[in-house]
Structure 1
């Protein structure tokens, strides 16, 4: 009879508790499941002597609340479980409470609290991971769309540019009639402009291709000194148009103009083109660009010095970032891709590229590559 009376009291308590859960959380279905779990555990707890501990089973409703209810709801479920676990010490009344029983239920209460805390933290981590994954997926989709757009646009631009360059060459070759000296100068300017535009498009394509697939190098022994001389010869027209004088020196090292590295001559030539073009464009008319070559047992160093206005301290950390053009007073503004591509190439060779101010005026752009001996060539 005593057990029956206790069960009737428990049933009445459960009815009140379920109504409370429904009204409080406005989540009928999860509340029903939680109430049913509570009913099962309460029936076990309050229909048996207090020394029999079933409070650990309250972890079921706590974990269910963690995935279905709000943070406040989870806290309330945990507190109810703790209260019911402690209440079983006094209900049903009349039992002798042993110290061991109090200790066991105290441990159970701490375990329920830890379960609620850890389940809440786990839920927060899962939500944060889901948000991060959604953001990463959006960024990847955006990057893919942007790269497809740039690749398609660049390919579409190359065809008319190549056609325009060939047409200008035909005019320069007098295929459509005699060309006067003044017209020849105009055609040379047009050809140079189209070639620079084509080079920009190709650089843009290479940058995105390198980011997506990595830079693929064709390695072989390369003499940086000879490569610098070859590139300088191709930039004579640009330096003459800008009235900038290019010189080359070999520092204090006596290495007979041999700076051997294991590299890709085509890609390293692009680095020279980018650095020298940058230096020529940022030097004033009548200015000077100097290429300084230095050699050591471990490294080969190339420095390109211009006579422009220098680089501001705010610009220095960002010069080799993609599309960065700077906010300083340097005379020419580029695409923001040449230095970025140069960094890609030097990094792929295991080298270092940097920039610094040259006192009293001008800027220095340099790179360093691992050296190989002449015997390895």
Structure 2
């Protein structure tokens, strides 16, 4: 009796899912066949029920489509203000992701999951916004139409003639915690269209003539129902596997077709396809490998592979099982897969063989329980077999000759043993020979070895010797036990050998997948990913592998990598066909089979990101379904890795675009204010001087002129900072180094800033023996000026500014300290970023470029700049410049 245990993979998936759901928000999708079926209405109704229970519900984005009944359901619910985005001369209203994350409600409503966000948004698609909300632990209600599912996009385009550009990956739909189907009959939906509840009258008339044809709506409704049923079926199957439920649940039909090397299996497979189609049910083609059929070769092997390939072409899932008892293994697999019907072929063996070996059909029907068994009559599957050449008949005799030779050797060894010990020890020698034959040649030759061992023992060692006659009848029991022991040993050893072979093959496949997955997980560049795919996939499949990627100039080109192979023009044409049609073709398939290699599309999120070309060392290798499935799995892993790189590039590009947009907005808002303020002051003072003329008093005239001069200098500094920042950003600002005196540079800056520093006494601490340093005097003056202006701007009137210069660690260090409000927590490094202004400085003028220019200039000189809060209040800014080699001596020093 087979012990029923939970599937470890299903348990692991359940644990991971539970762990994810414990921290991640829950997604509920209101799913419909077409616009207008009432998804938004149902979502709002469900949200109101949640709000009535006291939960925090927020409407993040809802499209009421001007329907009064829908608008009525929004009353009483909190709204999140939408984000306005300027694009193409129009203002777009978008969902505010940042506002939602900051608000962090218990439940948020985000309509139209497939929507494409406006340029400059954090994410390109709204489903990505929803994914980030779920990661933040926020539950989400959303809506989705069936035509937006990526896997059905091309199917719906063929049905309706309309290509939908906005799609959602099926993984998002499958990962939803709950999907509620909102269904509406086509007649009712068309009536809603006529009443103007979906589109305005003009649009509604055009929609009914195109997309909303009744036939289209029937097809869309069927697809929506089927996709929802598939999701529920997957949930049922996962629950059954995780809880080790062995009984069959008749929740949906699922067929299993028993495939064998018999010529009748071809018709059996086709009958299974017809039955599955009539029941609209998935089906599986299964072959069970036993110790007696291990190493199947010749025509039988070719026919079996052809039957499995036929089943795959007809849409079946194929599986090869291994076990001692075919029926037990078959039923265990069927119950695990929730199979409801099993199709087997009508037995063709004579009745006497069934009486001796047992009837397969009878045993299956007796043990099947609540699974229905269908027995199909068949006919020989014609056609010449393709694939591996038939094994030579003579080669199948060699194991039997080997077994006979082993028994002959055992007889010689037994003759030597019998001369010094009892004949029972000779029996042990023969049993060792049976074990060796089982290990080396398999079950059939080991059975022959068991029979030959009994015969040789009787002939050579039992009185009368050299004769098969038995003088003592007690030896008959010995012969029986010896034969039974030999047969049991041969059966057990064959079983162990088969399990070892299967374990070795599985380990090779698992190792190949693990090796490739591990290698791809840590790679960040395209060259590394392609190199890993070519290396590991080639070793796993005993083949040469090449990866072809889209090229803007060539369309599709092989990525250069060691271990690949050169493509002919014909193979390159096949690869382009595979990329364009997203279907496997080439060697070993029925599509373009004349190619020298097998080509598989690398598909990620429904898009072809490349093509994998495989040229095996022997073309027959691809006829094995397991080997072919391994190649497909490796291709899917490669596609995921290439897709990850593409997503990383897109994320980086979007990040750069967002940062550029943010910087542009900051620059415009800062510069526009800081330019307008001095220009307004200059214009006002100039206007007063012009209009008043000589009537204005001399003291006021001087004040106005000083105001014009002061604002002009401020404007000049702002423009200079903008130019310097641009030159630093573009790498055009290069220092013109010469030997400089920091004391002299400070003196020049003090004189230049006499007016801004009028209300702040400057206390300098500069040692008299300060050495010279190599630097650009003009740029260092700019640094000192910006730091002193910054200190004066943020210090209370009358407070001193302390300037200290010292030599420390082969560098000259300058310190500017004030008694202002200091730096906010965590702003020590960020204060030097472009356009970065502390919160307490928002009411002061300045574009936030001065400190960024200071950092750029200091970095150009190989130094560093930093800031920190000053004990007792205020902030202190320090920068260091390397002294370098000793400065040349001054003439006075040389004369002395």
- Please give the alpha-carbon distance, in whole angstroms, between the structure 2 residues aligned to 1:343 and 1:368: 11
Provide structure 2 residue ranges, at least 5 long, that are not aligned to the other structure: 1-262, 264-297, 318-384, 396-540, 546-586, 590-597, 607-619, 891-896
Match of 1:319, SS? helix
CA shift digits 1:110-157 (9 cap, x unpaired): x76765554333222211222333444556677788999979x98xx9
Matches within 5 A, 1:25-40: none
2:390 to 14, 24, 48: 48
Matches within 5 A, 1:166-185: 177=694, 180-185=698-703
The offset of 1:9, in angstroms, is 7.0
- Please give the alpha-carbon distance, in whole angstroms, between the structure 2 residues aligned to 1:14 and 1:353: 70
CA shift digits 1:33-71 (9 cap, x unpaired): xxxxxxxxx8214x53399xxx86799679744525879
Match of 1:239, SS? coil
Pick which of 230-239 and 324-333 moved more.
324-333
- Please give the alpha-carbon distance, in whole angstroms, between the structure 2 residues aligned to 1:282 and 1:328: 9
Match of 1:128, SS? helix
Matches within 5 A, 1:7-22: 14-20=309-315
The offset of 1:234, in angstroms, is 0.9
- Pair 1:331–1:5, CA change in 2 (3 A): closer
Partner of 1:226: 744
Partner of 1:32: none
Q: Tell me, yes or no, if the aligned pair for 1:168 and 1:191 is still in contact at 8 Å.
A: no
Match of 2:314, SS? helix
- Please give the alpha-carbon distance, in whole angstroms, between the structure 2 residues aligned to 1:266 and 1:128: 48
- Please give the alpha-carbon distance, in whole angstroms, between the structure 2 residues aligned to 1:58 and 1:219: 58
- Please give the alpha-carbon distance, in whole angstroms, between the structure 2 residues aligned to 1:64 and 1:21: 21
2:602 to 63, 67, 71: 67
- Please give the alpha-carbon distance, in whole angstroms, between the structure 2 residues aligned to 1:219 and 1:166: 40
Partner of 2:888: 375
- Please give the alpha-carbon distance, in whole angstroms, between the structure 2 residues aligned to 1:193 and 1:49: 98
Match of 1:356, SS? strand
Match of 2:819, SS? coil
In the alignment, structure 1 residue 210 sits paired with structure 2 residue 552: no
Partner of 2:708: 190
2:812 to 276, 288, 300: 300
Q: Tell me, yes or no, if the aligned pair for 1:310 and 1:363 is still in contact at 8 Å.
A: yes
Matches within 5 A, 1:276-291: 276-291=788-803
- Pair 1:227–1:331, CA change in 2 (3 A): farther
- Pair 1:172–1:66, CA change in 2 (3 A): same
- Pair 1:167–1:231, CA change in 2 (3 A): farther
In the alignment, structure 1 residue 354 sits paired with structure 2 residue 866: yes
The offset of 1:201, in angstroms, is 2.7
The offset of 1:312, in angstroms, is 2.6
- Pair 1:132–1:8, CA change in 2 (3 A): closer
- Please give the alpha-carbon distance, in whole angstroms, between the structure 1 residues aligned to 2:635 and 2:623: 24
Greater relative CO, 1 or 2 (CA 8 Å, sep 6+): 1
The offset of 1:287, in angstroms, is 0.7
Q: Tell me, yes or no, if the aligned pair for 2:682 and 2:711 is still in contact at 8 Å.
A: no
Q: Tell me, yes or no, if the aligned pair for 1:168 and 1:187 is still in contact at 8 Å.
A: yes
Q: Tell me, yes or no, if the aligned pair for 1:325 and 1:336 is still in contact at 8 Å.
A: yes
Partner of 1:238: 756
- Pair 1:246–1:207, CA change in 2 (3 A): same
Q: Tell me, yes or no, if the aligned pair for 2:685 and 2:707 is still in contact at 8 Å.
A: no
Match of 2:756, SS? helix
Pick which of 62-71 and 282-291 moved more.
62-71
Match of 1:244, SS? coil
Match of 2:815, SS? strand
Q: Tell me, yes or no, if the aligned pair for 2:689 and 2:704 is still in contact at 8 Å.
A: no
Match of 2:798, SS? coil
- Pair 1:209–1:144, CA change in 2 (3 A): farther
Structure that is richer in helix per residue: 1
- Pair 1:116–1:333, CA change in 2 (3 A): farther
Match of 1:361, SS? coil
Provide structure 1 residue ranges, at least 5 long, that are not aligned to the other structure: 23-41, 72-83, 89-107
The offset of 1:244, in angstroms, is 1.4
Partner of 1:127: 643
Match of 1:366, SS? strand
The offset of 1:272, in angstroms, is 0.5
Structure that is richer in strand per residue: 2
In the alignment, structure 1 residue 269 sits paired with structure 2 residue 787: no
- Pair 1:232–1:86, CA change in 2 (3 A): closer
Partner of 1:309: 821
Q: Tell me, yes or no, if the aligned pair for 1:295 and 1:301 is still in contact at 8 Å.
A: yes
In the alignment, structure 1 residue 321 sits paired with structure 2 residue 833: yes
Pick which of 361-370 and 201-210 moved more.
201-210
- Pair 1:5–1:115, CA change in 2 (3 A): closer
Q: Tell me, yes or no, if the aligned pair for 1:315 and 1:328 is still in contact at 8 Å.
A: no
- Please give the alpha-carbon distance, in whole angstroms, between the structure 1 residues aligned to 2:684 and 2:843: 32
The offset of 1:16, in angstroms, is 3.6
The offset of 1:309, in angstroms, is 2.2
- Please give the alpha-carbon distance, in whole angstroms, between the structure 2 residues aligned to 1:261 and 1:284: 34
Query: Which TM-score applies when normalising by structure 1?
Result: 0.65
- Please give the alpha-carbon distance, in whole angstroms, between the structure 2 residues aligned to 1:145 and 1:330: 21
CA shift digits 1:310-350 (9 cap, x unpaired): 22322223111111112248985632211111000001100
The offset of 1:291, in angstroms, is 1.0
Q: Tell me, yes or no, if the aligned pair for 2:686 and 2:708 is still in contact at 8 Å.
A: no
The offset of 1:280, in angstroms, is 0.6
Q: Tell me, yes or no, if the aligned pair for 1:308 and 1:330 is still in contact at 8 Å.
A: no
Q: Tell me, yes or no, if the aligned pair for 2:682 and 2:707 is still in contact at 8 Å.
A: no
CA shift digits 1:342-364 (9 cap, x unpaired): 00000110011111111112211
Q: Tell me, yes or no, if the aligned pair for 1:346 and 1:352 is still in contact at 8 Å.
A: yes
Matches within 5 A, 1:34-113: 43-45=386-388, 48-49=390-391, 64-68=599-603
CA shift digits 1:185-215 (9 cap, x unpaired): 1332233123213322321232132112253
**How large is the Cα RMSD of the aligned pairs?**
4.7
Q: Tell me, yes or no, if the aligned pair for 1:172 and 1:179 is still in contact at 8 Å.
A: no
- Please give the alpha-carbon distance, in whole angstroms, between the structure 2 residues aligned to 1:376 and 1:353: 29
